Amino acid sequence: MAMSVNTNAGAMIALQNLSKTNKMLEQTQLRVTTGLRVNGPKDDAATFAIAQNMRGDIAGMSAVKTNLSLGQSIVNVAIDAGKAIEDLLIEMKAKSVQASQAGLDTDSYTALNQEFTSLRAQVEAIVASAEFNGKNLIQSASTNLDILSTVDGSTITITKQSLDSTSLSIHTASLSDATVAGTALTAISQAIISVSNALAALGSSAKRVDIQTEFTGKLQDILKQGVGNLVDADLAQESATLQSLQIKQQLGVQALAIANAGPQSILSLFQ
């Protein structure tokens, strides 16, 4: 091989290998820093595309979980309101039974009727305030609630339950005397049954939302694990690779220094 100061083949080879080592070291350091084996399409185009699609599904499921949680809150408010209304109806029934007794004086009927009317007004107050995020499921003017349950757009429909005094047919009930108190007792008893049925329907719907929420969370975790299997770096392996490349880098620098020193031997030929 001819000796030349213009062309140093050994230095070229050493520099090429050093550049390759530096590139691999940079890639390994990026993996260690980010914890990802695939940081972009240049690393592995197919795997990156698959992972991005899965990340899109995960984001969609996060939105679904948010909607399900919102729906849960709306239904829970309606259920709590329904339970409070049922408790009030039970008190109203007790007053109706008490007023059904013959022989009470006018003052007693007046007092009982005032309590009865006050309890009914409280029912109306609860119905009006049983609202969450602008949605009330127990007003007569309310509509059914459709809750997004899947990324594909499927929904869970929560049927409204009208629990106001008019819908329960107790808005005209009175305890002014024993006769009308008996009529009120019948109406209140039926209203309690109606509220119980409404609570059963709301409870069934709430359970369905709970099950879907739990399933969505599990599915989201599975997808996250799948993305991790695709793109996460094996840090133990990357740590060993990093140390190996650092040693190769040092050796490459030394090899380049030796190769660059080679042309100096030409000077001895002219002494």
Give residue limits of the domains in the chain. Answer: 55-230
Q: Nearest 5 degrees, angle CA 192-CA 135-CA 84?
A: 30
pLDDT for position 4: 64
Indicate the class that CATH gives domain 55-230: mainly alpha
Q: Which of 266, 41, 54, 200 is nearest to 62 (CA)?
A: 54
pLDDT band at 228 (very low <50, low <70, confident <90, very high): very high
pTM recorded for the entire structure:
0.77
Mean pLDDT, the chain, whole residue set? 90
Asked whether the predicted pLDDT for residue 1 surpasses 60, the reply is no
Q: 70-129 pLDDT, tens per residue?
A: 999 999 999 999 999 999 999 999 999 999 887 788 899 899 999 999 999 999 999 999
pLDDT for position 66: 93
Asked whether 173 and 187 are in contact (CB, 8 A), the reply is yes
Asked whether the predicted pLDDT for residue 177 surpasses 60, the reply is yes
SS3 3: coil
